[in-house]
Amino acid sequence: MVNPAIDLVIQLGIMFAIGAAMAMAFISISHLLSPRSTNPNKSEPYECGVVPKSDARAPFNVHYYLVAVLFVLFDLEAVFIYPWAVSLRTLGTPALAEMFVFIAILLVGYVYAWKKGVFEWE
């Protein structure tokens, strides 16, 4: 038995390998060929924002986490839509109605989030 996935895996592997090789080649070529001069002033974030004062890992607003959770939940909703889209032609109208029920239930959560002001930044 020949597994048709093997060819695909090898093709994808070649694609990833070429992609990684190109990225590494660009970085290493510019690293090898570019002229370099070191100067403490060059390491400063000149016109690239404020000078960093504290550690980057500061505790931050929990609001970001809420947005991330909502993203994960709607992402999972999208997962169910893929097989639905593939099977819809054979399943017909009932499946269309079922998906509308599914989305309607999740839309309740979306409206709740909206009303609670989750999408507003203070």
Partner 1 sequence: MTEKILFIVFSVLAVAGGLGTITRKNVVHGLLLLVFTFLNVAAIFFLTQAYFLAVIQILVYAGAIMVLFVFVIMLLNLRTFEQEEQTHRRQRWIAAALSVLVLVEFVVVLAGVTFTSVRGGLTPETMTDLGGGTKVFGDALFNNMLLPFEVASVVLLVAMVGAIVLVKREKTAGGATRAWEPGERPTPEALEEEV
d(CA 25, CA 31) in angstroms, rounded, equals 10
Count of residues of this chain found to bind partner 1 when the rule CB under 8 A is applied: 58
Cβ 20 to partner 1 shortest distance, Å: 13
CA 6 to chain centre: 27
Q: Return the SS3 of 6.
A: helix
AA identity, residue 68: A
Which residue shows structure tokens 């203070």?
122
* Residues 4-63, interacting with partner 1 (CB under 8 A): 4-6, 8-10, 12, 54, 57-63
Task: Answer yes or no: are the C-beta atoms of 119 and 113 closer than 8 Å.
Answer: yes
Task: Please check whether residue 96 is in contact with residue 88, taking contact to mean a CB–CB distance below 8 angstroms.
Answer: yes
Q: Which is nearer to partner 1, 29 or 107 (CB)?
A: 107
The interface mask with partner 1, positions 63-102, x = CB under 8 A, is xxxx-xxxxxx-xxxxxx-xxxxxxx-xx--xx--x--xx
Single residue of 3, 39, 43, 93 touching partner 1 by CB under 8 A: 3
Q: By the criterion CB under 8 A, which residues form the site for partner 1?
A: 1, 3-6, 8-10, 12, 54, 57-66, 68-73, 75-80, 82-88, 90-91, 94-95, 98, 101-103, 105-106, 108-110, 112-113, 116-118, 122
